[in-house]
Amino acid sequence: MSGVEVTFNGIPVPEPHLCTLKITNNGRVPILPSDYTRVINVNFLPCSHSAHSRAQPNVLAFDLVEQSPKNLGANVNLLNAKLYVEATLLNPSNSFTVRVLLDHDFNHEKLDIDARIVGIDEVKPPGEPWPNSWWVQGFMLIGSMILFVGVLAYYVNAPSLSLLSAIVLFSSIAASITYLTGTSKKRVRRG
């Protein structure tokens, strides 16, 4: 907005941005403080939009807005204009929300969350692509099984198995095994 100036500790902020982020254990297993090998580091990457300066955003201030449960005890720190979250017990569905003031806009599609937690390969922002959702994978599995049964019925009733039927049969079995092994790993720990 033209004519509006924002200052922080008396210093003008060129492109002030307020960001609210929520950290949640959306898995089924508690994440213990001993499961962290280092603190969670939230990195805001420069915005790539041409209307912005593309400067590296720095965290000027933060506020711990909400904790669920209220006695969660989340410990958030600011060091060298970076946001750090200390190890804390996160039971399933536990969460906390942090509001952050940045001096420049950031890339909203590429929030970089650096963490090492036992049993969790990557801490990800919500909103997985649709093929990774459980119901799409379920439909893919059911479709593969129907195809498998159809090919099997054809094989039993036909004198010989055609090359196309063999390829479809092999693909169905491979897809089913891949799906089942992938979901069994995801059920263990998810951050």
Query: Whole-angstrom Cα distance, residue 10 to residue 142?
Result: 62
pTM reported for the whole predicted model: 0.60
- Tell me, yes or no, whether 80 and 42 share the same domain: yes
In a domain, 17, yes or no: yes
Query: Whole-angstrom Cα distance, residue 15 to residue 32?
Result: 38
Number of structural domains in the chain:
2
- Tell me, yes or no, whether 107 and 24 share the same domain: yes
| Spatial CA neighbour of 124 closest among 108, 109, 113 | 113
Query: Whole-angstrom Cα distance, residue 92 to residue 54?
Result: 37
- Tell me, yes or no, whether 49 and 103 share the same domain: yes
Q: Give strand ranges (E) for the chain.
A: 7-8, 11-12, 17-24, 40-43, 59-68, 76-79, 82-85, 95-102, 112-114
Q: Which domain holds residue 66?
A: 7-114
In a domain, 125, yes or no: no
Query: Whole-angstrom Cα distance, residue 189 to residue 174?
Result: 24
Question: pLDDT tens per residue, the chain (191 residues)?
Answer: 567 788 888 888 878 888 888 888 888 889 899 998 888 888 887 777 766 667 788 888 899 999 999 999 899 998 888 888 898 899 999 999 999 988 887 877 777 788 888 887 777 666 544 445 555 666 666 676 666 666 666 666 655 555 556 666 667 666 666 665 555 444 444 44
- Tell me, yes or no, whether 37 and 95 share the same domain: yes
In a domain, 2, yes or no: no
How many residues are present in the chain? 191
Q: What are phi and psi of 16, to 5 degrees?
A: -65, 135
